[in-house]
A and B are shown apart, each in its own frame.
Chain A
Amino acid sequence: MKKTLPILDLFNCPEQNSAVFARLILLSILICLVLIANPGFYSHDELEKVDHILRYGFADYFKDYVTLKPGEGFAFAVRPVAYFVEGVVSLFFHKYPYMIHLVDVLMHGAAACLLFVAAFRLSGNRKLAWAGALIFLANPLVSFSVGWSGALMDRLYILFGLVAFIAAHNYISRQGGVKSLLAVFTASILAMLSKETALILPLTLLAYLLFSFESIKSKRLWTAFAVWVVPVLLFMLYRLPALVGSFTVKSASPYSASLANAPEGIFVYFIYPFLPFLTESHNWALQSPAFIGIALVGHLALLAVLWLAFSFRAVLAYLFGYVLFLVPILLIPGTGSHYLYGSGIAFSIAIGALLALKQGHAQRALLTAIPIGLLVIAFLHTLLNQQYFYRTGLCMDSIENTVESAYLADGKPDTMSVVINPDAPGHVLARFLHNKEMIGSYFPVKFQVVNWDQRQEIQYGYIFNCDCLVHKLEPFKLAVKNWGPQSTPLNAIPNQQPDGSGALWIEVEDTKDVGELQVMIGGQAATLTSIQPKVITAAFSPELFAQPGEKELAIKKVATGQIFPIGRFVVEPAK
């Protein structure tokens, strides 16, 4: 018997289905442990629901969210099933946040179990189905939807879609009758009421045609397709005016659709799995061109391997499966990593199929080595995504606690304007305060986020720092009497010190209780700031005086990041 490392036992497919499911659920918990342990949340989406329930009660939440409305915009209140689940789960929000994340992970585990069943029934290859389900648990295309509680609709519609697919397969392969059709119909309704993207789900039945064109003659295939499509059509008819509006009216909605958005979307989603340092897909342009190139080549290599190992038709099937779930959102501006949840199926099954290649297959070593290499990159991406979620959650949790603390300490003000320190994760604060009118159990409160470069125009009373803490901003003032030197010729070190650095002095009224300070020139901190009772001195490295120009001299209060401008220091150009 071939010996394997003990840990690899975990990844052998058990013989019984019940053992497969148990192992997949346990593995989902293990793989997503970081996500479960996240003490905070990712976006305002989930916070809005919790605030609504806290402020207006559960009945009002149900009335507002768990109803079917045609809606005004592309993504408005047409997900009653998803909102129902989200509302119920929200009950754990304040006391047991890990339970919410655990539900997210268990839902993902359930989707992996269904994927195993679907892949096994379709292919008859247990090893392939097992490998596909395992990769699905851990691939980077799914980590965003699982880590982000508010993106549960992406998981839910895929979950119902898989149920519908299994039921449809039962019917098509004559293992089931009318009951199976009924299951297709019900699952299709639930999927559509989870997320409207589910409208593409019936097209998954085209997989039959891709692998066996003879299936086109199957009456049962077309019956299942028709049954699956009915709820989609009904839903689309109901929402038609809003959808037409999305395409025709030039609205300011961030979700207004346009065909011009599609090419960029396809490119970004295609390179995403192999760009390990990319978290939110809309930041793709910030990645280095070399990494983007590697990611593109990596995905193209996967296509090439699929062609070599199977056929060109397999490549087409893969591309079809990868892009299908993205079609509805390719038209909206920007991209979102959580939209890739459905694409994770084709990705996982394709690599799973390559890993399950039979012994003796020509070029088997090469055809499995390449996907294994790609998987390593993809799993690294998953780990980094998970770390990003954990750190974001920890940060958002700090924001929530400190905003409430500042609000209470300040006697519950009507408005809180928070300026973002340049080195603070402003995107997390912005997401937390988006549309927020409540903090803790207190409302209404108006929040305003002030960017660092807006601080001259907009008044603010609080500051958000790099430790994710929101501080009350006591005005930071220093009575500066004089300072110098105020200029120096190019390459002349003012007040040169024994170590070669230049030094500036700032005479002030008093430095009592000022705390730790840092003198800065042009945003560059002094190598040493010394505070004496009436004077502050600062040493700067000689390189600072090697470039001509005017630079702002300022003092930074280290604890709060507040900056007090002193004046303009001039390095005079050479004559």
Chain B
Amino acid sequence: MDQKLLLQCPPRNRAVFIQLFFIAVASMLAIIANPGFYRSDELNITSHIQRNGIQDYLSSYLTLEPHQEFAFNVRPVAYLVEGLVSLLLPDYPFLVHLADVLMHWLVAVLLFLAIVQFCGRRQLAWLSSILFIISPLAVFSVGWTGALMDRLYLLFGLLAFLAAHAYITGRRGYAALAVVIFSSVLAMLSKETALVLSAALAVYWFFPIQNMNRRRLWAAFLAWSLPVLLLVLYRLPYLIEGFKGNINSAYAPSFLNAPIALFGYFLFPFLPFVEEASFSLFQPMFYTALAVACNLILLYLIVRAFSVRTLLAYLIGYSLFLIPVLTLPITHMFAHYLYGSGVAFSIALAALLLAAQDRLHLLLPALLIAIASLHTLVIQRYFYRHGLCMHTMLTSLNVAYVDDNMPKHMSILAMPGSQVQSLSYYTEGRKYPTEFTILDWDKRQEWTDYVFNCDCILHKRPGILLEVKEWGPVSTIVNNVANRQSDGNGAFWIKVEKLDELGRLEVLLDGQPALQTKVRPGLITAKFPPEQYAQEGKYQLEIRQLESGKTLRVGTFVVEPLSAIDKN
């Protein structure tokens, strides 16, 4: 079947690396082109550097402190990389995303080498690497700059694996063990989830190789585990407190969360329209059933093509990287945690493609890949739209903040249909440049100073929230009462939208209130005395909310001179 495949592995490694690079860039264009970012994580780092300088950043973030919250100050390597990349964020956001994609490519290259080294099957390694690049399990970590730690720890994990393999097979000596230890340290200092990495050596138990030295295997395992043990011991008091439930943190762990979270993470790749992993558990029955069926088909295909032992290896490989986060609350199920699971997922699908004996057996894994790839595209689109929105919001927010003389607090009303998630991801826990409160549309009765609209523009609230569609008359000739009524007064009509719950309104012409303002659904009418039309000029027509005193500008009414008749 190998020969019939369109995607043939190039014979030379360097050609493989170059082609994987092309595939990574071309398949991640939407991620690279994203002009914005995903959450306040990466923006906080940039703000910190802009405000306090890079040295202060390094001294604040590049430390190892045991008694802090789950994700704080225990990732110096990751924060070093993030800090350096953040320097490009304000002027060249695409370079930050390009660095994310390049890191992903590097992981794919190491994955290729690891598979080739382990089993010698280049075509399997090639397809696995491609599937890993485009996997929906990987795209979240790549699209979210702030999740670079998930990429980093896997990158160092793969390096450790390559070195361990060279030692176990007797090709290298103690230098390889030193590389294992060094990579393990870097992985642990990138993300503490790396504590599971040494278990990856179980692959030698599932798939024994000929030239394996068991003593060396144990030595490599110990070398790999040593930095893990040291860091865990260092953080042990906090971890114990965490499991006792004594810590008041959004990340407070519990074993009860694990089964349901695991179920959700398994569904994720085959739920093509789900963006964040926590939504996996709340999908319509049809999609959930589809994802379960896809998983069952995948498991069945693995057993059928290989063995139950292989199935077990796949399940462990998929779950291994999730173990440290399975105990977190369901609301904290995040798709970027799945980056490591993408390895087992990609290898399994690639192996099934290669094991297919005929077109029919090729069809099922191809179908699974198609669903997963659709999911990747949906997530990329999500990142792009979210980033574009956050970018627009940030630009307009900067202006609103400066124009308002840098207020200490900004209360923002989110209009219906606006991408409020982008706004809240930016403001969550953020105190720079100021503190924020977001009000949903349901709470619009409470006054806010700013509005966030459907175009992701954040602006100073101009007055009452009313959309004027049309109004008239827009002009008259001096002393000609416009739209004269039976009582001799002139009248205006203003067609509006969103006229509910606005309280009492009155229309003003040149600051003078109307004799009478009538408010009906979708229409406001107002009467003005003939004297209002006696002086030529331009006059502002406004609507005022009596309770708040806020006004909305409708337009400019023109009283033209008599000479305008001749011109017309």
Q: B33 contacts which chain A residues (CB < 8 A)?
A: 36-37, 39, 98, 101-102
Question: CB-nearest residue of chain A relative to B453?
Answer: A408
Q: A310 contacts which chain B residues (CB < 8 A)?
A: none
A260 within 8 A of B: no
B30 touches A98 (CB 8 A): yes
Known: A39-B35, A406-B459, A408-B453. A29 touches B25 (CB 8 A): yes
A9 within 8 A of B: yes
| B463 interface neighbour in A6, A95, A411, A440, Cβ under 8 Å | A411
Interface string of B391-411 (1 = CB under 8 A from A): 110011011101101100000
Nearest CB of A to B167, in Å: 27
B459 touches A405 (CB 8 A): yes
- Chain A, range 389-433, C-beta contacts under 8 Å to B: 390-391, 394, 397-398, 401-402, 404-406, 408-414
A39 to B26, CA, bound (A): 18
Known: A37-B32, A402-B396, A406-B399. A98 touches B92 (CB 8 A): no
Q: A97 contacts which chain B residues (CB < 8 A)?
A: 388
Q: A262 contacts which chain B residues (CB < 8 A)?
A: none
- Chain B, range 403-433, C-beta contacts under 8 Å to A: 403, 405-406
A471 touches B30 (CB 8 A): no
A411 touches B26 (CB 8 A): no
A515 to B15, CA, bound (A): 58
B459 touches A560 (CB 8 A): no
B106 within 8 A of A: no
A405 touches B399 (CB 8 A): yes
A-contacting 9-mer, from B142-150, B303-311, B475-483, B549-557: B549-557
Nearest CB of B to A10, in Å: 6
B537 within 8 A of A: no
Interface string of A508-546 (1 = CB under 8 A from B): 000001010000000000000000000000000000000
Q: B17 contacts which chain A residues (CB < 8 A)?
A: 6
B18 touches A10 (CB 8 A): yes
A86 to B384, CA, bound (A): 22
Q: B551 contacts which chain A residues (CB < 8 A)?
A: 411
Q: A470 contacts which chain B residues (CB < 8 A)?
A: 399
A37 to B551, CA, bound (A): 41
A26 touches B30 (CB 8 A): no
A470 to B395, CA, bound (A): 10
User: In this complex, which of B14, B26, B93, B395 has the most chain A Cβ atoms within 10 angstroms of its Cβ?
Assistant: B395
B451 touches A408 (CB 8 A): yes
Question: CB-nearest residue of chain A relative to B551?
Answer: A411
How many residues belonging to A are interface residues under a CB distance threshold of 8 Å?
47
B385 within 8 A of A: yes
A9 to B19, CA, bound (A): 11
A474 within 8 A of B: yes
Q: B25 contacts which chain A residues (CB < 8 A)?
A: 29-30, 33
| B396 interface neighbour in A96, A98, A405, A559, Cβ under 8 Å | A405
B98 within 8 A of A: yes
| A404 interface neighbour in B98, B457, B462, Cβ under 8 Å | B457
Known: A401-B457, A411-B463, A513-B405. A9 touches B399 (CB 8 A): no
A34 within 8 A of B: yes
- Chain A, range 359-399, C-beta contacts under 8 Å to B: 390-391, 394, 397-398
A33 to B25, CA, bound (A): 9
A9 touches B14 (CB 8 A): yes
Question: CB-nearest residue of chain B relative to A514?
Answer: B405
A411 touches B462 (CB 8 A): yes
B455 within 8 A of A: yes
Q: A404 contacts which chain B residues (CB < 8 A)?
A: 396, 455, 457, 459
A95 touches B555 (CB 8 A): no
B29 within 8 A of A: yes
B462 touches A29 (CB 8 A): no
Main secondary structure of the interface of B (DSSP, over half): helix
B18 touches A414 (CB 8 A): no
A471 to B457, CA, bound (A): 14
B29 touches A412 (CB 8 A): no
Nearest CB of B to A355, in Å: 21
Nearest CB of A to B401, in Å: 10
Q: B398 contacts which chain A residues (CB < 8 A)?
A: 467, 469
A122 to B94, CA, bound (A): 40
Nearest CB of A to B278, in Å: 25
Q: A398 contacts which chain B residues (CB < 8 A)?
A: 395
A405 touches B400 (CB 8 A): yes
A272 to B221, CA, bound (A): 62
B462 touches A33 (CB 8 A): no
Q: B402 contacts which chain A residues (CB < 8 A)?
A: 469, 471, 559-560
User: In this complex, which of B455, B551, B553 has the most chain A Cβ atoms within 10 angstroms of its Cβ?
Assistant: B455
A30 touches B94 (CB 8 A): no
| A413 interface neighbour in B94, B384, B451, B553, Cβ under 8 Å | B553
A515 to B92, CA, bound (A): 29
Nearest CB of B to A13, in Å: 15
A97 to B388, CA, bound (A): 9
| B399 interface neighbour in A413, A441, A469, Cβ under 8 Å | A469
| B553 interface neighbour in A29, A406, A411, A441, Cβ under 8 Å | A411
Q: B98 contacts which chain A residues (CB < 8 A)?
A: 33
Interface string of B441-473 (1 = CB under 8 A from A): 000000000010101011111110000000000
| A401 interface neighbour in B396, B405, B463, Cβ under 8 Å | B396
Q: B395 contacts which chain A residues (CB < 8 A)?
A: 397-398, 401-402, 405, 469
A436 to B552, CA, bound (A): 24
B207 within 8 A of A: no
Q: A26 contacts which chain B residues (CB < 8 A)?
A: 22, 26
- Chain B, range 356-404, C-beta contacts under 8 Å to A: 384-385, 388, 391-392, 395-396, 398-400, 402-403
Q: B459 contacts which chain A residues (CB < 8 A)?
A: 404-406, 408-409
B392 touches A401 (CB 8 A): yes
Question: CB-nearest residue of chain B relative to A40?
Answer: B35
Given A37-B97, A408-B457, 7 other A-B residues pairs in contact with their CB atoms under 8 A: A10-B18, A36-B33, A95-B385, A98-B33, A102-B33, A401-B392, A467-B398
Question: 5 tightest CB-CB pairs across the interface, nearest first?
Answer: A39-B35, A37-B94, A98-B33, A411-B553, A6-B14
26 contacts between A and B (CB under 8 A): A6-B17, A7-B18, A9-B15, A9-B18, A10-B18, A29-B25, A30-B22, A30-B25, A37-B32, A37-B35, A39-B388, A390-B92, A398-B395, A402-B396, A404-B396, A404-B457, A405-B395, A405-B459, A408-B451, A408-B453, A408-B462, A409-B400, A411-B551, A440-B455, A469-B398, A515-B406
Q: Which residues of A contact B (CB under 8 A)?
A: 6-7, 9-10, 26, 29-30, 33-34, 36-37, 39, 95-98, 101-102, 390-391, 394, 397-398, 401-402, 404-406, 408-414, 440-441, 467, 469-472, 474, 513, 515, 559-560
